Amino acid sequence: MTPPHRQVAETYRALGRAGMNTGASGNVSVRTRRGMVITPSGCSAETITDTDAVEMTLDGKPRGNVAPSSEWFMHAAIYRAYPNAAAIVHTHSDACTALACLNEKLPAFHYMITRFGGDDVRCAPYVTFGTPALADVAVAALIDRSACLLANHGMIVTGANADDALTAALTLEALARQYLLARAAGKPRLLTRAEMQAARERFKTYGPASNASAATKSKPRSRATAA
């Protein structure tokens, strides 16, 4: 099995190659028995190495002298709230960030939205980055979901492992881009609840994973309510 430090670095580099982050934006983490391993503060896809990721507990105690990503609050809160989340990707990718800057959710314009656990991908309200308050609104927006947008900021997704979280992030960005293109051309037709439910049922027999990557389908441990 690939060590968690390498998983984090490889995923972060893959996001950079895909144009999902610019400079030192965005972060990646993987859950461990002791807490999590997360990208360090200020790293970039071009400079991160397999040993740079920071091991830390979910209450904020890092091992070593390297500072973790400023968004560690958000990653830790999601792991505490959603036991099935095993990896997290946060990016400032173009399409998701553009939609988040409109403070709008990604609605049921395409059946692939079901991949994230519901009939939409919510947009959490704007809160200053790197704060416990941002962690709280992200946890609330992820109830029964495996992804959300962060207003005027970006997006965050969870996965059953690092590869799953990476795929989810790429899929969400593609859907956000397609939605914005459709809106630019006209008014997209949204699928009905019945149509979305039919798609969910169809996915139960599609592919080896059977849509098992919806890591946050269980209710959170926190008392937060959905936005």
pLDDT digits (tens, 9 = 90+) for 154-187: 999 999 999 999 999 999 999 999 999 999 999 9
pLDDT of residue 224 exceeding 80 = no
pLDDT digits (tens, 9 = 90+) for 66-94: 999 999 999 999 999 999 999 999 999 99
Query: Among 46, 71, 173, 201, which one carries the catalytic annotation?
Result: 71
Where along the chain do its domains lie? 4-203
The CATH code belonging to domain 4-203 is 3.40.225.10
Does residue 201 carry a catalytic annotation? no
pTM of the model: 0.90
**So what's the pLDDT on residue 221?**
55
3-state secondary structure 128-184: CCCCHHHHHHHHHHCCCCCEEEECCCEEEEEECCHHHHHHHHHHHHHHHHHHHHHHH
